[in-house]
Amino acid sequence: MILNSLSLCYHNKLILAPMVRVGTLPMRLLALDYGADIVYCEELIDLKMIQCKRVVNEVLSTVDFVAPDDRVVFRTCEREQNRVVFQMGTSDAERALAVARLVENDVAGIDVNMGCPKEYSTKGGMGAALLSDPDKIEKILSTLVKGIRRPVTCKIRILPSLEDTLSLVKRIERTGIAAIAVHGRKREERPQHPVSCEVIKAIADTLSIPVIANGGSHDHIQRYSDIEDFRQATAASSVMVARAAMWNPSIFLKEGLRPLEEVMQKYIRYGEVRGYSRCGKGRCPFWLEGIEEPQPLSQHWTCHARIWRCSMTTTTPTPSTACARCYENSWSRPREGCSMLPSLPGKFVRPLALVPSMRRPHRSWMPSGPSCQPGLQRRQGSQLKIPLVSLRWLSSLTGEHTQPRSPPRCAY
């Protein structure tokens, strides 16, 4: 299906921000369910995408962009086709154009990341590194606008001075892009620093194209009504939500936030429907005692929940035969007589996206002292002692571009 380049409007929209290892297909569909108008995929690097082959997956009803090593780098489906924006990390106009042409018939828009301050993005001259090279910005955006049929946008951070920021955004507007997303912090600033609503407002007052305000999760956006308050404070056309949506995607729901357990199980069901098992085709060839046939993915999740729960209560976990082909025998075998979860993960497994903390595990909160493997989190300021599974790990099971990872395993 070929979309008209004018079909995606950036005025008065609620937008799911691009988030690495979070903005995969299940998360995007979940955000659309809860009321998001536009969803961005996570930043995908041009050098990786340019090697991919487009594959129509008739089993899952998806379109997959598959790398030479058979990893799915980007996956989309018809339901989100007219509302998903593909964000790329690039520092070269020709590579950017090649990637945009590869995916343009399967997405609603193309975005260039010019705001990510992380080293994995900036070390290749991408992300926030582009902000110091306006000539390269202009060349990349102009090439994309002239070379594809989809609307082109970019996402930036503000510069140290308002004058430099306004000069840059005016130059960006002249390239012909459809909209610009502005994260109201400087390159060196992090979420604990206040977002500069005044600078976003000055940009919105200066430009004629839609301005999308971003960066309000920490200070401003805690519930649905806060999104409109943030939009008015910045005079922006639309609002892009990142961490508030990562904590709970139902932030887009007018009726209010839904319980985390409900959101989690819906996320997992999308993984089941879309076959987001690393074994492929929606079925997992795992074997436990008494299980000889490959089981549906729902059973696959239940199995993982059971084993992970047992690893929390077993002092000396032993290697498991579960999901050997998927997870390289990384699970702990349930000890004999151990009580196991009867259904999908609920109380014991929570994606990092659904808890308000991005910090690494601390030794102090563990009942027996030693820290856990990466991915275990706890809700800041609460008394919850059950480790929480990182969505970055969960997305390695249900995501597009990561290798299978071992589940976090508790040391006690």
Q: How many residues does the chain have?
A: 412
Instruction: With CA atoms as reference, report the closest residue to 246 among 206, 283, 218.
Output: 218
The letter for the amino acid at 241 is: V
From 41, 116, 310, 372, the catalytic residue: 116
Cα torsion angle, 358, 363, 368, 374, sign:
positive
Q: Is 372 a catalytic residue?
A: no
In degrees rounded to 5, what are phi and psi of residue 212?
-105, 115
The residue whose two tokens read 């571009």 is 401
Cα distance between residue 197 and residue 195, in whole Å: 6
CA 15 to chain CA centroid, nearest Å = 12
Under a CB-based contact definition with an 8 Å cutoff, are residues 18 and 41 in contact?
A: yes
Question: Residue 150 and residue 107: Cα distance in Å, rounded?
Answer: 8
State the Cα–Cα distance between residues 4 and 15, nearest whole angstrom: 20
Residue 369 tokens, joined: 């002292």
| Residue 48 C-alpha from the chain's centroid | 17
Degrees, nearest 5: CA angle 233-240-190 = 80
> 384 vs 108, 348, 378, 410, CA distance in Å?
41, 11, 7, 15
HSE on the CB side for 278, CA within 13 Å? 20
The residue type found at 169 is: V
Q: Are 258 and 33 in contact (CB under 8 A)?
A: no
Residue partners of 37: CB distance under 8 A and separation at least 6? 13, 14, 15, 83, 238
CB-based contacts of 229: which residues, under 8 Å, 6+ apart?
220
Query: Is residue 125 left, alpha or beta, with left meaning phi > 0 and alpha meaning psi from -120 to 50?
Result: left
Q: Which residues are catalytic?
A: 116
